[in-house]
């Protein structure tokens, strides 16, 4: 079974402070991890994926297989980062294809 | 290019009624996924269709069903509505089963309220 855990429902930080959104996963195979973001009144959209190893809007995330974590980080929070963030895991299904499992999400609130 | 489109955007039903939600994927995408986003529960996987066939199903009762049409659009049907079915229902699409694709593009959702 594949599972994604986001322990914080709400994370409140001040503008300019570092941000770390936690994500832990459980999966027996080799997973692919994603972060999706949902800004207010907008659609859920892909923020980044671990295989890309890129920084998007200043956010980075490193897959730590030893700790089964994929935390999302940004050194300096901006007001426009306020949104709902979902960690997701893609695992292979028997018979082909992938199943994307989402965590329960963390609401990030950046205060001035 | 049009994104994933869903209809209706909002609807209100009463307990025991039935509802049909519709989704059109991005052109070229053959896989369609349905998720339920209930308050405080995050995104719960409902159903996955690819090339007209149901490929995987989440932990939901049989009154949640759906289908995918030859043009790859999809319907989600919910029978005997219960209060706890009130949620935002999200549809997403991706390239097909054997493409190796696992990045989903989401629609804006259909907000269902059950009274």
With bands split at pLDDT 50, 70 and 90, how would you rate the model's confidence at B5?
very high
Q: Per-residue confidence of chain A (112 residues) as pLDDT tens digits?
A: 789 999 999 999 999 999 999 999 998 888 889 999 999 989 999 999 988 878 889 999 989 989 999 999 999 999 999 999 999 998 877 666 677 889 999 999 999 9
Question: What is the reported pLDDT for B100?
Answer: 66
Which among A93, A100, A105 has the least Cβ separation from residue B104? Answer: A100
Chains A–B, number of C-beta pairs less than 8 Å apart? 55
Q: Report the percentage of chain B scoring pLDDT > 90.
A: 75
Q: How far is CA A14 from the centre of its chain?
A: 20
A35 contact B CB<8A: no
Q: How far apart are CA A100 and CA A88, in angstroms?
A: 6
Bridging pattern class, strands B42-50 and B31-38: antiparallel
Q: How far apart are CA B23 and CA B95, in angstroms?
A: 15
The residue-averaged pLDDT of B35-61 equals: 89
Which among A6, A46, A103 has the least Cβ separation from residue B103? Answer: A46
């Amino acid at each position: 079974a594949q599972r994604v855990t986001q322990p914080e429902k709400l994370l409140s930080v001040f503008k300019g402070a570092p941000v770390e959104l936690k994500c832990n996963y459980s999966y027996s195979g080799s997973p692919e991890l994603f972060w999706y973001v949902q800004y207010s009144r907008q659609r859920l959209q892909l923020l980044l994926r671990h295989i890309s190893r890129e920084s998007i809007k200043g956010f980075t995330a490193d897959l730590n297989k030893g700790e089964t974590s994929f935390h999302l980080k940004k050194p300096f929070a901006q007001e426009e980062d306020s949104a709902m963030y979902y960690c997701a895991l893609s695992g292979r299904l028997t018979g082909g294809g992938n199943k994307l499992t989402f965590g329960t999400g963390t609401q990030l609130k950046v205060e001035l | 290019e049009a994104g994933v489109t869903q209809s209706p955007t909002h609807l209100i039903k009463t307990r025991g009624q039935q509802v049909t939600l519709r989704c059109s994927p991005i052109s070229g995408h053959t896989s369609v996924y349905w998720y339920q986003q209930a308050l405080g529960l995050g995104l719960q996987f409902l159903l996955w269709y690819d090339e007209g066939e149901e490929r995987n199903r989440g932990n939901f009762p049989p009154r949640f069903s759906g289908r995918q049409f030859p043009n790859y659009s999809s319907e989600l049907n919910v029978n005997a509505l219960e209060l706890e079915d009130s949620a935002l229902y999200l549809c997403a699409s991706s390239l097909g089963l054997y493409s190796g694709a696992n990045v989903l593009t989401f629609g804006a959702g259909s907000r269902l309220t059950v009274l």
